[in-house]
Amino acid sequence: MLDHIGSTPLVRLDKLFSQDHVTVLAKLETFNPSGSVKDRIVKHIIEDAERSGVLRSGGTIVENTSGNTGAAIAMIAAIKGYRAILTMPDKVSQEKQDALRALGAEVVRCPTSAQPGSPDHYVRRARDIAASIPGSFMIDQYDNPKNAEAHYLTTGKEIWEQTGGEIDYFVASGSTGGTISGIGRYLKERLPDLKVIMPDPVGSIYHDYFNTGTVDHGKIGTYQVEGVGEDHIAECMDFTVVDEVLQFEDADAFAMARRLARQEGIFAGGSSGANLWGCVQIARRSDEPVTIVTVLPDSGLKYLSKFFSDRWMKAQGHDISS
C-alpha cells in the first residue's frame, strides 16, 4: 500500500478550459491509497519519526485534521499497528468521519466556531491529548517543515517531470501550506519566472496576512469549504513562494467542483473546486499562450452529503444551476 503513494496522473482539462491558448493540467491526488494528497506528507513524517526513534512500535499518533490527513494517518496506523486519535472541526463531512472510524481511528469532534488557542479548538485539543499520553507522537502538519518537504521531494518533482518544465502558473489553495509551499519552492528553483497563485476562502486569515503582513482577527470567519484557509498562521506556510492570493466564496468552489464532475468526469472535492476557480481567474486575464498546473487534493466521494447534494446546496442558499 505505502509503495503506491505518489506518482499520480496529470491530466489536461479540455472542456472546462476550451480556449486554444490556455492549457490547464490537474494533478489527480485521489489516486493515492487513502484518496488524497495527504498520504504523501503522513508517510514522509511517520517514516522520519520511526527512523529517529520518536515513534516506536505500538505507539499512539495524535493529530488535528480536516479529514484527509486523518484518513492517511488512520490507514498507515492500521498498516503499522499504531493507535490513532484524531481531532477535527464539526463541519467536517460525515463521510470523512465515518471513514476514519472504519479504519480504526478514534475521532474527537470540536466546534468549528472555537477560537484558536481555546481548549475546544481542534488544534489545541490535539495538543492537550498528546500531552496526556506518554510517548505519543503528533504529525504536527501545520508547523512541521517535513510537510512541505514531502511535496518538495515528491509532488513538485513529479509535476516538473510530467510537464517537461513547461509551466507558467501553479495554482493551489492552502491550509497547512505544505502543498503550495513545497511544490512552489521546487518549481520556482527551476523556473524563477513561474507565478504561484493561492486561492483563499473569505473568512480565512491568509489573504489579508499576505497583503498586509498583519492579522485582523475581526475578519476571521467560518466558511464551508473543507481543507483550505485557516484561522491562524501555520508555520509550514511559506509566503515567500506565493505571488498572489485570490479570495473566493464557498459558492465559487462548489460550483467549480460540480462542473468538473459533469463536464470532465472527474469527481473531486471542494478544495479542488477552489483551485480550479483560481485557474479560471488566471485564464481570463491571459491573452498569450499559458500553461497552468493545479492540484486536485481529494475525491468528491467525501462530500456526497454536502455540496454534491442538491438538497444541501439549496438549504445553504447555493445555486445548483451551474
Marked catalytic residue, from 38, 43, 146, 195: 38
For residue 311, how many other CB atoms are within 10 A of its CB? 9
* The 3-state secondary structure of the chain, one letter per residue: CHHHCCCCCEEECCCCCCCCCEEEEEEEHHHCCCCECHHHHHHHHHHHHHHHCCCCCCCEEEEECCCHHHHHHHHHHHHHCCEEEEEEECCCCHHHHHHHHHCCCEEEEECCCCCCCCCCCHHHHHHHHHHHCCCCEECCCCCCHHHHHHHHHCHHHHHHHHHCCCCCEEECCCCCCHHHHHHHHHHHHHCCCCEEEEEEEECECHHHHHHHCCCCHHHCCCCCCCCCCCCCCCCCCCHHHCCEEEEECHHHHHHHHHHHHHHHCCCECHHHHHHHHHHHHHHHHCCCCEEEEEEECEEHHHHCCCCCCHHHHHHCCCCCCC
CA-CA distances (angstroms) from residue 242 to 171, 185, 197?
A: 10, 9, 6
Rounded Cα distance, 12 and 8, in Å: 13
Q: Does the active-site annotation cover 27? A: no
On whether the CB atoms of residues 231 and 278 are closer than 8 A, the answer is no
Rounded Cα distance, 70 and 74, in Å: 6
For residue 115, how many other CB atoms are within 10 A of its CB? 13
Q: Largest alpha-carbon pair distance within the chain?
A: 59
Question: What amino acid positions are annotated as catalytic residues?
Answer: 38
